[in-house]
Amino acid sequence: MTAARQGSGQVSGTSEQRERFQALLVRCRLAVEAGPPAAAITTRGRRRTGLSQERVASLLGVSVRSYGDFERGLTRAEPEFMDRVAEILKMSEHERHAMFLLSTGQEPPQPFTSTLASVPAYQLALDSSVLPGYLSNRCWDIELTNQPFRDIWPDEEVPTNVLRYILMNPGARDTVLLEWEHGWALPFLRQQRAALQAARWETGLVELQRELEEAANEDRALRRLMQRSLDDEYIHPNGDTRILRHPEWGPTRFTLLMTRPLDAASAHRFVWLVPPRPVDQMP
């Protein structure tokens, strides 16, 4: 890989950001337990544990000058190259995240892991609420729920993926998701398009899109809405309302509240369905 294939231009931001970028990479490089004979030698002649620039360049398959320019923030690299650097330097998720932010000003495009960091704490947060709520990941998979959320489906299986349930479950649009076309389908089709554009590397989103397109071949209503969804953008549902048929409260207009991503790796979010009145005042 040549410098040209890495990318062009300096690390984005100020000289201070470039200095922080270089300090991060040097710190991570020298923290790697390389051992002899790959131990780094500092400019003052002291041998210390870690990888030399020569060793990192060799592992990356680039010239020493090319890697040195990258480490100093003089060239900007493609995401794949930066992920390889993160792997070689044994960066933690937070270090990798910082490297991308300092270099490009953007979130890393590919997670190290999609594993929940603290399932008990997240579940406790859900169970402590009287509001229906769930925790989902970047691919719309519902990974944790609470009892008020499960109570919406007392006699059937609780949804495991938001997009599949809303867009590919014909029964849901007839019995649970009221005003399905404008309230549910169109907004979520636009959200899926925005999510896919922001994370084209995410295989789960790509697979969902493939499933949507296959389902649209058999579902005329979905096919028509997929075409209409291209006419406008829709990003975030916070504060929007949706009508859902609740087994106890009947047709209820819920307000959707969503947290920002809890982590950079998987973009887990809490989503709450807030009824128009306190739960103890609902019918």
Using one digit for the tens of pLDDT, what is the confidence trace for 199-254? 777 888 999 999 999 999 999 999 999 999 988 776 666 889 999 999 999 999 99
> What distance in Å separates the CA atoms of residue 173 and residue 223, rounded to the nearest whole number?
15
**In the prediction, which pLDDT does 261 show?**
81
In this structure, whether the domain defined by 119-281 belongs to CATH 3.40.50.620 is answered with no
DSSP letter at 251?
A: E
163 burial level (CB within 10 Å; 0-12, 13-18, 19+): buried
Q: What is the pLDDT of residues 105-124, one digit of tens each?
A: 877 765 545 566 678 899 99
Question: Residues 170, 219: contact at Cβ < 8 Å?
Answer: yes
Question: Residues 252, 178: contact at Cβ < 8 Å?
Answer: no
Structurally, what CATH architecture does the domain formed by 3-104 represent?
Orthogonal Bundle (1.10)
**In the prediction, which pLDDT does 47 show?**
44
Q: Which residues of the chain are under the pLDDT cut of 50?
A: 1-8, 35-47, 112
Three-state secondary-structure class, residue 271: strand
Question: Residues 190, 163: contact at Cβ < 8 Å?
Answer: no
61-78 in b/e form (b: 16+ CB < 10 A) is ebeeebbbbbbbbebbbe
> What distance in Å separates the CA atoms of residue 188 and residue 212, rounded to the nearest whole number?
12
**In the prediction, which pLDDT does 207 show?**
94
Question: Residues 115, 126: contact at Cβ < 8 Å?
Answer: no
Alpha helices (H) along 140-239: 147-150, 162-168, 170-175, 186-198, 203-218, 220-228
Q: Where are the domains of the chain?
A: 3-104, 119-281
**In the prediction, which pLDDT does 5 show?**
42
